[in-house]
Amino acid sequence: MTGAATWRRLLAEFAGTALLVTAVVGSGVMATTLSPDDVGLQLLENSIATAFALAALILTFGPVSGAHFNPVVSAADWFLGRRTGTGLTAAQLGGYVLAQTAGAIAGSVLANLMFGLAAVDLSSKERAGGHLWLGEVVATAGLILLVFALARSGRAAVAPAAVGAYIGAAYWFTSSTSFANPAVTIGRACTDTFAGIAPASVPGFVVAQLIGAVVGTGLLLALYPGVGAAAGEVVVPDTSEESVR
């Protein structure tokens, strides 16, 4: 991979993750403003905006970087593809994780500023407890299973709609409202709004997400033994070297 292609991929992961967190945080602020007395409606508004934004961002950045926007997706991509020479290398994985985490923080700052809040306002919303961590295990395992199963079965083209739909649904069927992303979790600690998470609650969520990634990867290997060959197609095929110039 050329240096130019690497630069584009990291920029795409940074920008895509930033805009994803901007959508999550910004729609949460708007929801609480428009529906101040109805938490259920707030969650509905937040989840719909997030699902639509995620699908659009995958369509936008997928051809450049694969649109991972998530360290556990990138880690699974590296792990599953390391024996077949597909997916990310270890060095690329490190770059992706840094870009995604920096992007998530930047996205939270951007959303805060758009709504006239302090650029960084650490969240006071505690999210801790075994039931929430279990929700994160389930949400993350399901996400990993979905994106790699789509790639392995040759259906990566529907990933934008499928991943957006899954995350939108997981807002409702998991107790944790489906963060399912360590970078996004860190970014959401920087805003004391509807979508925030207290910094002290971040480690528990991240550990649960890592466990979920392991569970999801184990299920993949059991259900799709040749999944490693499709690692380069996650979330959508990366065509940066061929067509993005």
Global pTM reads 0.93
Per the structure block, which two tokens stand in for 56?
């659009």
Residue 86: the pLDDT is 83
DSSP states along 179-194: ---HHHHHHHTT--ST
DSSP states along 40-57: HHHHHHHHHHHHHHHHHH
Rounded Cα gap, residues 105 and 120, in angstroms: 9
Dihedral through CA 127, CA 132, CA 136, CA 139, nearest 10?
-120
Helices 130-152 and 71-81, axial angle in degrees (round to 10): 50
Q: Closest Cα to residue 154, out of 221, 226, 57, 92? A: 226
Cα separations in angstroms, 74 against 34, 98, 137, 175, 224: 36, 11, 17, 25, 18
Per-residue model confidence as pLDDT tens for the chain (245 residues): 555 588 999 999 999 999 999 999 999 999 999 999 999 999 999 999 999 999 999 999 999 999 999 999 999 999 998 878 888 999 999 999 999 999 999 999 999 999 999 999 999 999 999 999 999 999 999 999 999 999 989 898 999 999 999 999 999 999 999 999 999 999 999 999 999 999 999 999 999 999 999 999 999 999 998 887 877 777 776 665 544 43
Q: Closest Cα to residue 24, out of 35, 16, 13? A: 16
The amino acid occupying position 83 is R
Cα separations in angstroms, 229 against 50, 155, 197, 240: 30, 14, 37, 19
Residue 245: the pLDDT is 39
Per the structure block, which two tokens stand in for 31?
């929801």
